[in-house]
Each structure stands twice: as structure tokens, then as C-alpha cells.
Amino acid sequence: MNALPEALLRHPGLWQGKARRDQQAYVSTGFSALDAQLPGHGWPRGALSECLVAQPGIGELRLLLPALVQLAEEGRWMVWIVPPYIPYAPALRTAGLNLFHILVVNTADEAEALWAAEQALHSGACSAVLLWSGVCDARRLRRLQLAAEESRSWAVLCRNSDFSRHPSPAALRLGLEGMEGRLAVQILKCRGSVPAATIMLDA
Amino acid sequence: MEAARATVPPWPDVERQRGRDTRQRLWLALVFPHFSLEMACRGLANHEPVAVVEGQGVRARILACNRAARGVGISIGMPLSAAWAVTAELQTVNQNAVVEAAALRGIAAWAGQWSSLVSLMEDKPPGLLLEVGGSLRLFGDLERLTARIRAGVEELGYRALCGIAPTPLAAWLLARINDSRPVRQSEALAGRLAPVPLLFLGLEKTTHKALENMGIRSFGDCQRLSRSGTARRLGPELLRYLDRALGRVADPRVAYVAPAVFTRELDLPAETSALDALRFAARRLLLELEGFLIARDGAVGELELGLRHNREADTCIVIRLLVPGRNACHLLALLRQRLESTKLPSPVTGLWLRADKVLVSAPPAMDLFGSAEEKKEGQQLLVERLQARLGVDAVRGLEGVSGHRPERVWRYCSPGTQSPVAKSEVMASRPLWLLACPTPLAHKPQLESGPERIQSGWWDGEDIARDYYTAHTSDGARLWIFRELRGEQRWFIHGYFA
């Protein structure tokens, strides 16, 4: 009697506490300490993840790189939308990332960046969509999250850590801080599990 | 006797030749009963009253009008001045035989995707004849093919009556009386054509008059006349007509050959600048283009859409595709984005679409299990869509280049065209973020490692001489900084080890 109908369980908008979705829906972060704290042992796919960075350059890309390297094998686009600086090709190659699938999108304004992100998510032609934006409009964020839910992509929104106090529909929110050459990752919000303490990564 | 026999060609060849000739032919006739009106209305998404006008000045009369016009009280044959009195909102279009002929050819070119033999019937009403006997294998059965053709014609903005018979004339007559049940056997033709009124046969005036006086009213009545008597009294015209319709004599038709370049126009009865209305009209043209391209197994890499204005020069929108294509939906999506960002100087009175270079379509080879090619096509679509709105330079890929200067070991490239670079060069530690241009540092941060001297580029005037170090700031960011070896020896920040 208390079992939910099968159709309801498969609904993407419904999540069950502690329940683990299939492994395919996650991509490992590449850091076992962080994986252990996340419900699917990795970044959720088909949902929005948010990285709140105090200042660019503290190690946020090193956190994203292992997952990108894995996703590159799918042979679909990995779209970087309005990155704050130029993704430096030699360093990406040294990290083992195949440049062939990288798409760098630069736009004139915020609205077009969000449009590009939605298009990339809807197209189904992307394994990863990374967006750097200062968007704080709740409706816009919700749209982004819905677009991510309808896709199989790994969607990451990088914002300034000032936004950590604003509510967000993202499934996973990580606060990143640099600490003496290490990266302190704080899980601010995590669907399907209880946010844990800060994790230090030797990235 | 023996010699005479030797000149007769051997039997099997004759048989084979005959076999080819007597392959069952099946004709599909499409009659457009409201062609002039549909021509005028097909660019309109909404239902405004529209009427086609015949004649000039005081003689101008309503030739045809749509339902909206009938609804407000316009009727066929009404003088134009009277119609204006009924409603001032009536959009009128003058009948133009040249434009109608071009439109019919447009449909014929589109119909080439369904049949290898499309013939024009520039009659009143106009129509097309398609030989579909040879297309049945490709498109499944007759019913499915007819349904697809009818749906396609409707998408173009026309309504057609269909008739299917083994002879072109019989198919045409069946379509005229709106009898869409197909006739497969010539033997059944006589019975099915019997109710066709005499008027539809399109005989010469004198013959028609004579038959009418004799009390002949239909095709069936004509068939009952004795052959010798008819020939004597009316001449050979009627008999020849009956024989062609019933398949007793051959009735060859001239196939329509579409021009090599696609150019079609569409006039809007009322000028508009509404995006939806323009998109609706453009879709009609794109569907025609799609049919035209399928017919010749072609694709376009570039097409031009023109928006006509009353006074100003036409607004042209050129669409370029990464991969030649012909899918109307995709082209429309690209067009839509361009339309959104195009500023119109004044409302639009008409559209034209032109595709000069028709390329040979290279259809993707399908994979047995969920195709890799399909995926690739989807990848291209995304790039095209983004580039259509943001510009070609806004969407790029990254590429490594061999060299030593940090600014010159990478560059942007067109997506998916990276040239592989030898991986041999071992890079000392390089930052993941590079600053577009190095920014001067106010004071020297705490150095971690270095220096790495990079001195290169004397040959092209952009030579550099720098000592690179890694450093870290108090808030945890790791920097890639350098000191110039020349001039003021200032410190610059060039990247972040993000």
C-alpha cells in the first residue's frame, strides 16, 4: 500500500530521500572524499549544479576537470559559456582533456548567455554545459534548472559566492574557497542527502 | 520465305520491350479548384477577408473570396465597388495569370519528390498529373502515398481534389468530379467515368454545342453514341478523346522539368511586420524548397530570403549552413532567429526565397545501432543555431598550436575542426585560465616556484623575453606571473591555476 506507483517514482521532478538513482545519472567528481559525500557518488546529470566561487582562480576548474575528462569520451560537445578567462588549451591538454569537443561561447550580455545555455541543454548534443554568470533572477534560474532536468547533460553554473545566501533551485550547491593551496569544498545544498561538513581537496 | 523470317527480330527481345512498355501506369491527378484564391491567401496565417478580383476599373468583379469574406457578405460576381461598400477591411488581389503559372510550376517542382513524371495541366481550374505507378514500391501503398501528397499540398497552402486512374485523362476527370476512389483497371473506367458532366470534358465549342443539342449530358451518354455516326457528324475529336480517356490509344504527357535554381515568390495580401505572420509565410516557401530539393536529391548550403517593402529596398537575409541541408523545420528555426534580430524598415508586402547553388546531398549513412551520424548532425545543429543568433565568432573551438610563446600555443578555431598537435612537448606547469592580456601587478606576491625563462619570437616583431613564476595570494589563488627581462622589468599576472 505504501509503495508509490512506478510512474511516479520515475518522475524526474520527484526525488526520494537517500534513494540512489542509477549510476548513469551521475558522473564521478574524481575526488573520492567528495564522491563519498554526494548521493550518487558524483555530480548529478540532468540537474543543475552550482559552484559558488569566492574568486576565480582558486581551483574551481581543477574540481571540474576530472568529470570533464570522463565526459569527453561521450563525444558530444562540452560547452563553456562566457568563461571569465580564456580556457588555456595547453593546460587542458596536459590534464588529459580532449579539446575536440570543447565549444567556447562568448555573448554580449547575460540574457544571451542564458539563452545559449538553454539551447545547449535542449539540443541533447552536449555532455556538459558550463555557464559563468551572475544571474540571480529566480525565474531565470528555474528555467535553467528545468532545461537541465530535461537533458542528460551535466550542467554547472558558476557564480560568485555572494550568491550563496540567495535561494537557488540547483540540485547541488558547492561553496568553494582556497585555503593554503588546497580547495575547501562546502556542500551547501544537496538533493537526496544531508549537507556534510567542509571537505578539503588537494586539487 | 526463309529469308523473310530471318529479318523478324527474335521474340524474347520483343517480349521484354513490351513488358517494359505495358508496366502498369497509374496517374494521380491533382485539381486545384480554388487556385487563384489560395494563391492569394496562402501567406496569411489568420483568416482575414480576402477576395480575388478580375477586370479593371468599373468592370472589376469578385472572382473568388474566402470564407471570412463570405461571412461578412461578399459573394462571387459582385462588383468590387459593392464589395467595398460591404466591408472596408476586404483585402483584394488582382488575378494574375503569370503569377499563377509560376505558382503551379512551383507545386510541380515540389511534387517531383513523389513521382518521376509530373505534368502541368494549365486548364481552368489548373492542376497537375503525377505518374505514381512507379512510385508505389518506394512509398508503400497507394493510400499512403495519396495521403502524404494531399497532406503535403495542404501544408503548401492549397487544397486539391484527387483522382487516380490508369490514364491521365481519366484521372483528371475523376478529380474534377471529386471521386477520389482509385480505379486500377482500365476495364472499370467506362463505368466510373459515366457521371462526368459534358462541360468537364473541355471539348471544342462547336462539338460541345452540337452534343448538347443532341441531348448528351455526360461522359456516359457520349460512350453510348455509335462510333461511325459520331465520326461522321462531329469529326474525330470526340472519339479520340474517349479513346484516350479509356486507355484505348496512348496519351503521352510532357514531363515538367524544374529549373536548376530555386526562386519562388509569395505576395502577402496585406502588409505586415508581425514576426509570426512572416514566419508562417516563409514556412510555405521553405516547404516548397524542401520538395524541390528532395526531387533532385539535392541540398543547399546557402539560401537567401528577401522581404519586400513598399518603398524601401528589399531586406535580405542570407542563411549559411555548416552542412548542406534541406530540412524545412531546421531552416525555419535558423530563419526565425535571424528574423528576430533583423530590423525591418517598414512592413513587408511579400517574400521571396532563392537558392542559387543546389549541391548534391550526401545523406548520412545510417548506423545499425542508434546512429553516430545522427548524433553528429545534432552536434552541427547546435553550433548552427548558436551561430545564427550570436554570430560566427561567438561560438568557437579551442586548438593547440606548437610553439613557445604562451599567447601563441593556442588559438580559437571553427568548432570541430581542430588539427591534431603532436603531444610530445612536455609543458611545465601551465595555468588553466589565461588572461586575454597580462595585467600589471602592483606588488610582488609570494613566489612558489620558477623561474622558467621564455624568450622567443624575434622573427615576427612580437618577441617576448620573460621569466615566469608561480605564486600564490593570501586568499588562496595560485597565479602564473612573469617579469619582463627588458625595459622596466615590471611584474605581470598572466593566468590562474584555477
8 Å CB contact of B430 and A88: yes
B135 half-sphere exposure, CB direction, 13 A CA radius? 23
Lowest mean pLDDT among B18-22, B227-231, B474-478, B487-491: B18-22
Q: What pTM, to 2 d.p., does this model score?
A: 0.60
Phi, psi of B67, deg, nearest 5: -65, -40
Partners of B305 in the beta sheet? B317, B353
pLDDT single digits (tens) B278-306? 888 899 999 999 999 988 888 888 889 99
B479 to chain A: which residues are within 8 Å by CB? 57
- At position A72, the amino acid (one-letter code) is A
Full DSSP string of B452-497 = EEEEE-GGGT--EEEEEEEEE-TTS-EEEEEEESSTT--EEEEEE-
Q: Is the pLDDT of residue B7 over 50?
A: no
Domain count, chain B: 3
Contact B406, B458 (CB under 8 A): no
Phi, psi of A104, deg, nearest 5: -105, 120
The H or E element containing residue A154 is strand A154-160
Q: What count of other Cβ atoms lies within 10 Å of the Cβ of residue A199?
A: 16
CB of B98 within 8 Å of any CB in chain A?
Answer: no
In a domain, B343, yes or no: yes
pLDDT single digits (tens) A42-99? 888 888 999 998 887 788 888 899 999 998 888 889 999 999 999 998 888 888 888 8
Rounded to whole angstroms, the Cα distance separating B477 from A182 reads 10
Question: Which residues numbered 398-437 in B keep a CB inside 8 Å of some CB on A?
Answer: 398-400, 409-410, 412, 415-416, 418, 423, 427, 430-436
| Predicted pLDDT at B286 | 92
ipTM score of complex: 0.83
Rounded to whole angstroms, the Cα distance separating B452 from B466 reads 8
CB of B375 within 8 Å of any CB in chain A?
Answer: yes
A106 to chain B: which residues are within 8 Å by CB? 390, 394
Quick one: B130 and B199 in the same domain?
A: yes
Q: How confident is the model at residue B151 (pLDDT cuts 50, 70, 90)?
A: very high
Quick one: B340 and B239 in the same domain?
A: no
Quick one: B235 and B277 in the same domain?
A: no
Instruction: Name the residue of chain B whose CA is nearest to A87's CA.
Output: B433
Q: Which of B413, B419, B377, B333 is nearest to A103 (CA)?
A: B413
Q: How far does B449 lie from chain A, in Å, by closest CA?
A: 13
Last residue of a domain, one of B202, B219, B246: B246
Full DSSP string of B389-447 = HH-GGGEEEEEE--SSSGGGSEEEESTT-PPP--TTSPP----SEEEEEEEE-SS--EE
Last residue of a domain, one of B214, B246, B278: B246
| Predicted pLDDT at B372 | 53
| Predicted pLDDT at B21 | 46
CB of B476 within 8 Å of any CB in chain A?
Answer: yes
**Chain CA centroid to CA B23, Å:** 32
8 Å CB contact of B477 and A58: yes
Rounded to whole angstroms, the Cα distance separating B176 from B26 reads 17
Q: What count of other Cβ atoms lies within 10 Å of the Cβ of residue B18?
A: 10
| Predicted pLDDT at B18 | 45
Contact B473, B486 (CB under 8 A): no
One-letter-per-residue 3-state SS of A46-110: CEEEEEEECCCCCCHHHHHHHHHHHHHCCCCEEEEECCCCEECHHHHHHCCCCHHHEEEECCCCH
A130 to chain B: which residues are within 8 Å by CB? none
Q: How far does B74 lie from chain A, in Å, by closest CA?
A: 47
Instruction: Name the residue of chain A whose CA is nearest to B497's CA.
Output: A57
B435 to chain A: which residues are within 8 Å by CB? 85-86
A75 to chain B: which residues are within 8 Å by CB? 375
Instruction: Name the residue of chain A whose CA is nearest to B475's CA.
Output: A178
pLDDT single digits (tens) B107-138? 999 999 998 899 998 888 899 999 988 888 88
What is the CATH number for B225? Answer: 3.30.70.270
A65 to chain B: which residues are within 8 Å by CB? 432
Rounded to whole angstroms, the Cα distance separating B173 from B193 reads 7
User: Which CATH number does A28-201 carry?
Assistant: 3.40.50.300
Q: How confident is the model at residue A151 (pLDDT cuts 50, 70, 90)?
A: confident
CB of A109 within 8 Å of any CB in chain B?
Answer: no
Rounded to whole angstroms, the Cα distance separating B440 from A67 reads 34
Higher pLDDT, A139 or A197: A139
Quick one: B162 and B237 in the same domain?
A: yes
Tell me what percent of chain B is helix, strand and coil, each rounded to the nearest 5: 40, 25, 35
Average pLDDT over residues B464-486: 84
Rounded to whole angstroms, the Cα distance separating B87 from B84 reads 5
Question: Can you give the residue range of the structural domain that contains B277?
Answer: 262-360
Quick one: B274 and B129 in the same domain?
A: no
